[in-house]
Chain A
C-alpha cells in the first residue's frame, strides 16, 4: 500500500508555545489511521495541518514538510482551496450550514464550478448514499438541515465532505458529541468509506481506535511517540509511555 500523505520533521508553534515537535509520519492510502493521545497532545493540531486549516489561526509558525501525493502542501504554488477539496474534513461538532439538506451537500460541488442541475442531483444522491443517510433524508432534501438529529447532522457533514470528491477525509473526534447508537453508525460508515477514501481520525476513545483503525499514532506533548499497526500498538506497544497511556495509567 502506498503512502498518500507524509509529514517530515513537522514543527508547529502557536505564538511562542510549541504544539508539534518533529513529527514524521507516513499515512497509507485507503486505510483508517487513528490519532490518539491525551488532550492538548497535538493530535488535532496535526490533523488541521494536513488541510492547512491552521492557516486561519493568527501567529502560527510551521517548519518542516507535509507532502500530499508527493507535493509539499506548504509550497507557495499550492492552491489551498484545491488542497482542501482533495483533503476534506469533518469537525468535532456537527456543523451543517443553516440551509437545506440539498444545498448543504451541493455547496462543495457548486464551489468548484458544477452548475448543471442534473449533475448536482447525481452528486447529492451519491454523497448521501455513501454517507448512509440517503434513506432517512431523501423525502426532505429541501428541508433545513438543522432539523436533523445530531447523529444525522454528522453523517450529513460527512456526505457534504464526500460531495467535494476528496481523496483523504480528516475526522476530528467526529463522534464525541454523539450518542452511542449514532457513534456506531459513524464507525460502520468509516469502515465502508475506507474502500474509496483515506481516513485520518482523531479520537479520544481508544476502543474506537481499536474497532475501526488499521494504524494508530500516539501523540504526547506534541511528539509522535509511536506509530504502527493498531493491533500491535495496543497489544505490544514498543514505548513505555504508550503502554502507560493505553492501559489507563494517565490521560
Chain B
C-alpha cells in the first residue's frame, strides 16, 4: 500500500513537472512602479497557473526610464518593457529594431493600461497657498523637481506647466492646430516659455530622478512644493504621513501615459511570446486594473475608476499629442541639447 502511494506521489510530481512549463519573464520598468509590479506579478502568476497550468516567474528591473531603455538597446533581454514615456520605447524600436515602430498600436489605449498625471505635493496646511500652475511662480515659492534631462516625470511636469499656460491663454487647445489663430498661438507659446523660465528660476533642487526629488522634499525638508507623479505623491503621503503633507491637484494637467510593449526579438528567441502577451493583456483585465488603481495609477477601466474615484481628483487632462505633437517632437524641441530647456537656462 505504501509503495503504491509513493509511486503515485512520484508520478504526480513527475507528470506535473513534465506537463507544466516553467516560464521566466523579465519586465524592464522605471522607478516608481516597484510596488505596482510586485503585486501584479504575483496576481498574474496565479492567474496564468489557473488558466494554463504553467508556472511563470516575472523578474523586475527598475531604474530611470531613459537608462532602462538604454540597457535594452545595449542588449538586456527584456521580454516586456513598461516605461515612463513613449519616447523611450520609440527609441528602442528605432535604434535597435527589436520591436516594430508601430508597437503603440498593438494594445488598446496607446498601449497604456493605466495613466497618471503630474500633481503638487505641499506641506500640511499649504502655507504658500499653492493651487494652480500660476501659483508656482509667485515670489518666494521654492520648487523641488527632477532634472528634465535625466528623468521621465520631470519632462511630464515641464510639459504639464507649459500646456496649462497655453490653455489659459488660448481658452481652447484646438486653436493650436488651426492656422487662423497662428498669431494668438505664437503669443501664447511665448507666455508659456516665459512661465517655464520663471519656474526653473525658482527650482531649488533638480534631482536626477523621481524618487530622489521626493526624498529631497520629504526627508531633507527642501522647498515649498514638489512636482511629481500622482502615484508618487500618494505614496509619499502614505509613507511619511498625511499629517505632514497634502496633495494639491491643479485644475489642469497632462495625461501622462506610461506605455508597455512586447520586445518581439527577445520573446521569439526565448519562446515566451504567448506568456508575455498574456502578461501585458492581463494589465487590462479587471484584476490588473484594480491593482493599478490600488497603487494610485489611474485605471482605464471606467468601472474600476468609478470604484476608486475618491483616490483620483477630477482634473482636466490634455495629451502630449494634442499640445506638443507627440514625444519625438516634444523631445527635440524642448529637451534635446540646444532645445528650449537649455535655452531658458542659458546665461
Q: Do the two shown chains form a genuine complex with each other?
A: no
